[in-house]
Structure 1
């Protein structure tokens, strides 16, 4: 169980009493909100309906999806815990660069311009670097010329990570490792994006230019196959994909920007 300061223990006892919850449930929710940087939380708490998600200022999802009273309870609880985390020392301070610290990434990376957490994974984005903490092991990747817009984790038994950039959705495991153990490559399961090809994934414009000026027998069949598959897509298939994207956006798995980008890409194929 996560250690608490005296102020943190007093907070947990007070909240548990007022919300009629066990202290273990309050601590689990407190850790979930803390892992989400005080702005979001993913949790699994039987006393609050099982698995759920909370995002400050907008979205609350619980296992009993039509129980609005439970949603309000979770929203109020998470907001209260987030405010407490911002205004008091709830957890003992841990040295920078360690897992228990809010600054869990290597100190030489400086301050990230974006960070987040999901399940047992945390990430922080820096200029030309992406730090990922998965199960207590931190890996730093070289992001090359990608402008990372967000990191997401596949659900289910697959622990693979992807990120969105100006080149689309790309698997984190394809990036060069700067330090750390990295993560195993996983099969492509994104129904919108094609599986990564063995040639340069991160410079598609450059690759196309080279293909036009210096075509060889190894790459030509692949280009023909990709073109054939694109032409074979029917209007109904594209509409169904857009509907699935809309469901993912409504569930909070995609942002509006990601949804509109993919929608425009699909509509351009009609």
Structure 2
């Protein structure tokens, strides 16, 4: 059983008696709520029906989705735990920067804009930095110019860890690594708009014969014309995906058409 403070043990005893759950189950749920910053929890507790999620003031999900009594129990329990965490030191304080601490990220990063946890993964978002803890292995990433609005994980491991930014949904593993367990990953994240910008053909320096009205003779080579048309199709795809605004799409389309 995890070590508790005297006050923490009293809270565990009280919640165990009130909700008719084992002390191990209560301690596990305290850890889940604590990992979620006191406002959310993801858990897999057999005494509470297996896997589930809780969000303060929001949704509560349990394995048996139509068991409203169980949902109510989980919601009340997690709210009680959240309140206790806000006013009581339940676990002995661990040094900052260690896995057991609420502030598990490197101390020089300061206070995060937001943080959370999912399964065995924790994350914290800072100015230009993202810290990720997977099974105790902490990696710090450079977020470049991404404005991160959320983190999600489909399956275990950082290969499926993604974040949402103004450029869409991006794999965390594509960000440059600043420090930590995955320092070998130095792949620079090219924001989705950039590759197209970098591949645009530069204006042709050779003189171009102006089209003759009525004959439509154009001196641009078939190869150049084909490349420009392909670029227009790429820009159209980005526009359709919502990555480019209408103005950005029309401006770039007009620029490319002017080269034909």
TM range (shorter): 0.7 to 0.9
Aligned partner of 1:162 in structure 2 is 162
Q: Distance in 2 between matches of 1:13 and 1:214?
A: 72
What is the CA distance between 1:154 and its match in structure 2? Answer: 1.4
What are the superposed Cα offsets for residues 24-56 of structure 1, whole Å, 9 maximum, x if unpaired?
111111110001110000111111111110000
Q: Structure 1 residue 181 and structure 2 residue 190: aligned?
A: no
What are the superposed Cα offsets for residues 189-224 of structure 1, whole Å, 9 maximum, x if unpaired?
xxxxxxxxx9963261x432332234999xx69x67
**How many residues are matched?**
221
- Relative to structure 1, the CA distance from residue 72 to residue 117 in structure 2 (aligned partners, 3 Å threshold; closer, same or farther) is same
Q: Distance in 1 between matches of 2:110 and 2:29?
A: 29
Aligned partner of 1:211 in structure 2 is 199
What is the CA distance between 1:13 and its match in structure 2? Answer: 0.8
Aligned partner of 1:2 in structure 2 is 2
- Relative to structure 1, the CA distance from residue 207 to residue 28 in structure 2 (aligned partners, 3 Å threshold; closer, same or farther) is same
Q: Distance in 1 between matches of 2:157 and 2:92?
A: 33
Q: Distance in 1 between matches of 2:63 and 2:184?
A: 31
Q: Distance in 2 between matches of 1:25 and 1:200?
A: 42
Aligned partner of 1:90 in structure 2 is 90
Q: Structure 1 residue 77 and structure 2 residue 77: aligned?
A: yes
Contact 1:42 1:52 in 2 (8 A): yes
Pairwise CA RMSD: 3.3
What is the CA distance between 1:139 and its match in structure 2? Answer: 0.5
TM-score (structure 1 length as normaliser): 0.73
Q: Distance in 2 between matches of 1:136 and 1:158?
A: 13
What secondary structure, in the 3-state scheme, does the structure 1 residue paired with 2:200 have?
Answer: helix
TM-score (structure 2 length as normaliser): 0.75
What is the CA distance between 1:6 and its match in structure 2? Answer: 1.0
Contact 1:33 1:41 in 2 (8 A): yes
Q: Distance in 2 between matches of 1:200 and 1:132?
A: 17
What is the CA distance between 1:159 and its match in structure 2? Answer: 5.6
Q: Structure 1 residue 103 and structure 2 residue 98: aligned?
A: no
Aligned partner of 2:27 in structure 1 is 27
**Counterparts of 1:11-26 in structure 2 under 5 Å?**
11-26=11-26
Counterpart selection for 1:201 from 177, 190, 193: 190
Q: Distance in 1 between matches of 2:171 and 2:58?
A: 28
Q: Distance in 2 between matches of 1:42 and 1:183?
A: 29
Q: Distance in 2 between matches of 1:157 and 1:98?
A: 20
Which 5+ residue runs of structure 1 have no aligned equivalent? 186-197, 239-260, 265-270
Q: Distance in 2 between matches of 1:99 and 1:111?
A: 16
Aligned partner of 1:41 in structure 2 is 41
Which 5+ residue runs of structure 2 have no aligned equivalent? 204-222, 246-260
Q: Distance in 2 between matches of 1:78 and 1:211?
A: 52
What secondary structure, in the 3-state scheme, does the structure 2 residue paired with 1:104 have?
Answer: coil
